[in-house]
Structure 1
Amino acid sequence: MKRPDLPLQAKLFRGLADPSRLAVLEALRDGPRCVSEVVAATGLSQPNASAHLACLEDCGLVIRDRRGNLNPLPQHHA
C-alpha cells in the first residue's frame, strides 16, 4: 500500500535533520526575523544561514512575509 504523505514527511525530516537548521528554527520561535537577525542569533555566516533558510522554506517549515521577514510555519499547518 502506497502512502501519499511519505514524500512530504521525508521533506519535513530533511529540514529537521541538521543542527544548524534547528538553531534557525529556534531563532524564529519568538516571531518574524530578517536574515541578519537570524545570523546574529545563531552565529552562522550570512551565506550559510541563507542556505539553511532556503532549505527550511523548501521543506515548508518557514515562510517569508511580504517584507521579506522569515516566519516559522504555525504548528497547526505542520
Structure 2
Amino acid sequence: MKFLDVIGFKVKILSHSDFNLIGISGEIVYETQKFLIIKKDNGKEIMVYKPNGVFLLSSQGKSYIIRGDKLLGKPWKRSKKIR
C-alpha cells in the first residue's frame, strides 16, 4: 500500500529515539515533511519527528507497520519510496 495521505489514520508509536514517545497512540491530524501531529487519546496534540520512529498505522480495519523515514516528504512525492 502506498501511504499518500496518513491524516485520519490511527497511529501507535512502536519505537522512537525519544523513549518517552514509545507506546503513545492516537490519530494523525496533520503532517509536515518531517513531523506527524498526533492527537492523543486524551485530546492533547503532540509533534513527533518521523525519521526517528516506527509506527503502527491503522485505517479501515487494516494495520501497517512502517518506518518513519518512509513517511518523509510531501505525501504526493513519497509514493515512490514505499513499495
Sort the TM-score into its range (normalised by shorter chain).
under 0.3
TM-score by length of 2: 0.27
Q: Which has the larger share of helix?
A: 1
Q: Which has the larger share of strand?
A: 2
TM-score by length of 1: 0.28
Larger radius of gyration: 1
